[in-house]
């Protein structure tokens, strides 16, 4: 059998497997399966004259248009004959002969629907494959060998990694990255032992070193005290915890059909994207009084995470990362560890993405889903005003959590989507992992006579000041697509008559945003509530039904607006933006973020100042953290948590969990409870 015959047979098998798999898929928003990824790979490779120098940088589901999805859902929820599932398509960004190409593949007809050459600024996100190759180049580069020899370092203990370098006004740019190295000798915490002052510049297209610096020699921080592996730590150990058991009578309280989840009064879909990571779609809640499910969130995900470090020196000024658009928040997701990352009652979902050669890569246990009971109170009241009687009613709170962890280089990000029976959706973020560390000559703050752009957290070790800006895409569909954005400002009113001893009070003055410009908001400028309402539907009392945003940590960018990193990240200039729904407006930093110039961002789209009143709208919310490192963050950082909430506001006629009972106590064999 010759090579051509083998390729042809492989292609036929892929087509057959994909066709069979597609017929069994129930949901049009399910992420691409391994066989679909293989099918895309085969079709794209056959499109080019040779697969040499062909790399896959993004392969994801090309979602059907929103009206198609809603019609399909409506027909499947009705008694009439269901509509056929919308065609499955994939969108791919590949590099071939130093050019980026966009390809749309129809998975049902096994054909290419469209192709487009990228002529604008920016590059697709880096692949793990090319990063691995680039990080090995210094070891065969003579100047680098001399640098190691000069420092007396064992080459076998040196580890290198790739870092994006942004854009700083250059007229023409290449796909260059910096390669910086670390000394892992006697520790797994390589980021704690940087080779400061040494960096190579690598052209990823030519895969060669095109620049090199060894500007100065500073001590490599010692390995002692940097280890975090339990097997390597020595006594004494921290406080001991008694054993905790988690059990559920009859198994999990939720059902999972593929990627569709039902729990308590919630239905939603869990998706995955190599760039965005987790995608929550089609969240609806059952209204006990109305006896039907009601739409809340069409889609929510993190399109970008901007992490600018605050050291302007030659070795650090470019460290202004876009973790989704440059590195891929999805492909960086870690396999979750049962019992540590997730409780014993968790269920897990795997994820798959296309590697640099197009073949599927599996992330085992990429998601965990679990019911959370942390002893929280859902509602309670004690009444003592009734004579001779004390009434106490309390309900324990239970919620459902969808969790992932994305490890982008040194940082680990814990992302939670938490659904509560009262209609709230809480979005949690946890920051842990290793700080961005710089080696220096200092061992005590008394020695410091200049700005070191960070905190001295250990001998010869500086934790650099930095930010984390999480931008969320929230396509709320409150009881339908036609929604409006309302700012309810709390304003002080002076009492002008003498009928009351009070001199003032506050009241609510609401205004509906008519255009995008009206909805650009920096939180904290005035007390207000921000709501997405359905202006076409009202409660029995006449209030517009809606959901309000309860913001998380308020941390706005402190970089100047004309600083190059901030130009690229202008979508963080406001905490809240609202735009009309547009399928193509998905990535706040642009489709091509690496070395981008800020000409395809949310800030640019919004200049059109489109109408948003009583329209299908998208709320973009950025939650930020200013991080001033401290010694407790070293050698590994205890989780720093934050989050925000989407909370029903006049959506229900009354408390939706009034009749929700606390979960029953589960009896343990051979055990008795004592009161």
413 in the same domain as 340? yes
Position 667 scores a pLDDT of 64
Provide DSSP, 132-192. HHHHHGGGG-HHHHHHHHHHT--GGGEEEEEEE---SS-SS--SEEEEEEEE-TT-S-GGG
Name residues whose C-beta falls within 8 Å of residue 230's C-beta, 6 or more positions apart in sequence.
Answer: none
CA dist 20 and 8 (Å) reads 18
- Give residue-wise pLDDT tens across range 31-76: 999 999 999 999 999 999 887 889 999 999 999 999 999 999 988 7
- Quote the tokens at residue 392: 């106490």
Residues serving a catalytic function are: 323, 411
Evaluate whether residue 644 is within a structural domain: yes
Q: Give kind and range of the element (H or E) at residue 365.
A: strand 360-372
Judge if 218 and 359 occupy the same domain: no
CATH number of the domain bearing residue 550: 2.70.98.20
Domain that holds residue 301: 254-649
Q: 518 and 439 share a domain?
A: yes
Q: What pLDDT sits at residue 244?
A: 78
- Residue 613 within a domain: yes
State whether 175 and 107 are in the same domain: no
For 150-196, the pLDDT digits (tens) are 999 999 999 999 999 999 999 999 999 999 999 999 899 999 999 99
Q: Are residues 325 and 473 in the same domain?
A: yes
Residue with tokens 């580069």, as numbered in its chain: 141
Q: Look at residue 505 and tell me if it is in a domain.
A: yes
Are 481 and 618 in the same domain?
yes
Inform me whether the pLDDT recorded for 250 exceeds 90: no
295 to 86, 477, 496: CA distances (angstroms): 20, 6, 45
Q: Examine the domain organization and report whether 195 and 97 are in the same domain.
A: no
How many domains is the chain partitioned into structurally? 3
On whether both 443 and 475 belong to a single domain, the answer is: yes
Q: Does residue 166 lie in a domain region?
A: yes
**For the packed helices 34-47 and 3-24, what is the interaxial angle rounded to 10 degrees?**
140
pLDDT digits (tens, 9 = 90+) for 388-410: 999 999 999 999 999 999 999 99
Question: What is the structure's pLDDT at 81?
Answer: 66
Q: Are 198 and 139 in contact (CB under 8 A)?
A: no
Residues 220, 86 share a domain: no
Answer yes or no: is 247 within a domain.
no
pLDDT band at 17 (very low <50, low <70, confident <90, very high): very low
User: Does the residue 164 lie in any domain?
Assistant: yes
Residue 134 in any domain: the answer is: yes
In a domain, 564, yes or no: yes
Count of other CB atoms within 10 angstroms of residue 315: 19
My answer on whether 619 and 486 are in the same domain is: yes
For 214, counting Cβ atoms within 10 Å of its Cβ (0-12 exposed, 13-18 middle, 19+ buried), the class is middle
Q: 224 and 281 share a domain?
A: no
The residue out of 117, 138, 168 marking a domain boundary is: 117
Residues 134, 110, single domain; the answer is no
């Amino acid at each position: 059998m010759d090579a051509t015959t083998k390729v042809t047979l492989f292609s036929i098998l892929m087509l057959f497997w994909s066709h069979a798999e597609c017929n069994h898929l129930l949901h049009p928003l399910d992420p691409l399966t391994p066989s679909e990824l293989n099918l895309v790979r085969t079709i794209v490779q056959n499109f080019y004259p040779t697969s040499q120098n062909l790399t896959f940088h993004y392969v994801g589901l090309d979602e059907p248009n929103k009206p198609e999805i809603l019609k399909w859902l409506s027909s499947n929820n009705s008694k009439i004959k269901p509509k056929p599932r919308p065609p499955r398509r994939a969108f791919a960004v590949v590099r071939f002969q130093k050019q980026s190409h966009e390809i749309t593949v129809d998975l049902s007809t096994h054909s290419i629907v469209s192709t487009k050459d990228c002529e604008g600024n920016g590059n697709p996100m880096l692949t793990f494959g090319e990063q691995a190759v680039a990080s090995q180049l210094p070891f065969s580069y003579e100047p680098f060998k001399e640098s190691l020899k000069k420092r007396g370092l064992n080459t076998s203990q040196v580890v290198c990694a790739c870092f994006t370098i942004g854009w700083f006004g250059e007229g023409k740019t290449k796909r260059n990255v910096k390669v910086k190295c670390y000394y892992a000798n006697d520790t797994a915490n390589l980021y704690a032992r940087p080779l400061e002052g040494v960096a190579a510049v690598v052209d990823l297209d030519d895969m060669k070193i095109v620049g090199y610096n060894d500007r100065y020699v500073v001590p490599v921080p010692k390995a002692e005290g940097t280890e975090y592996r339990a097997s390597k730590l020595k006594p004494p150990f921290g406080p001991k915890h008694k054993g905790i058991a988690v059990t559920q009578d009859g198994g999990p309280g939720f059902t999972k059909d593929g990627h569709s989840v039902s729990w308590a009064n919630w239905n939603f879909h869990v998706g995955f994207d190599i760039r965005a990571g987790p995608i929550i779609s089609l969240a609806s809640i059952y209204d006990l009084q109305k006896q039907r499910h009601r739409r809340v969130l069409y889609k929510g995900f993190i399109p970008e995470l901007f992490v600018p470090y605050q050291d302007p020196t030659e070795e650090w000024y470019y460290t202004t990362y876009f973790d989704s658009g440059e590195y891929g928040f999805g492909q960086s997701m870690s396999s979750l560890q049962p019992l540590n990352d997730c409780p014993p009652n968790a269920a897990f979902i795997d994820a798959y993405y296309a590697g640099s050669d197009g073949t599927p890569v599996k992330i085992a246990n990429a998601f965990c889903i679990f019911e959370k009971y942390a002893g929280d109170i859902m509602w309670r009241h004690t009444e003592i005003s009734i004579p001779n009687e004390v009434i106490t009613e309390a309900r324990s709170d239970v919620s459902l959590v969808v969790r992932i962890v994305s490890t982008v280089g040194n940082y680990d990000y814990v992302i939670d989507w938490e659904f509560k029976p009262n209609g709230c959706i809480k979005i949690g973020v946890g920051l842990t992992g290793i700080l961005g560390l710089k080696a220096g000559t200092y061992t005590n703050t008394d020695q410091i006579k200049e700005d070191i752009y960070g905190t001295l957290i250990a001998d010869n070790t500086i934790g650099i000041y930095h930010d984390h800006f999480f931008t969320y895409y929230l396509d709320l569909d409150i009881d339908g697509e036609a929604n409006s954005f309302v700012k309810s400002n709390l304003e002080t009113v002076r009492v002008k008559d003498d009928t009351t001893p009070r001199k003032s009070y506050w009241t609510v003055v609401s205004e509906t945003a008519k255009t995008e410009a009206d909805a650009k908001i920096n939180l904290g400028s005035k007390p207000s509530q921000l709501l997405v309402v359905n202006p076409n539907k009202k409660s029995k009392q006449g209030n517009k039904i809606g959901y309000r945003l309860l913001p998380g940590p308020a941390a706005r960018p402190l970089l100047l607006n004309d600083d190059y990193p901030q130009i690229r990240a202008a979508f963080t200039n406001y905490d809240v933006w609202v735009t009309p729904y547009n399928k193509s407006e998905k990535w706040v930093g642009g489709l091509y973020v690496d070395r981008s110039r800020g000409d395809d961002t949310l800030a640019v789209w919004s200049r059109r100042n489109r109408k948003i009143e009583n329209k299908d709208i998208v709320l973009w919310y950025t939650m930020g953290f200013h991080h001033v490192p401290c010694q407790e963050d070293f050698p590994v950082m205890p989780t720093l948590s934050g989050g925000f909430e989407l909370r029903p506001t006049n959506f229900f006629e009354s408390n939706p969990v009034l009749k929700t009972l606390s979960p029953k106590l589960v009896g343990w064999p051979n055990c008795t409870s004592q009161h």
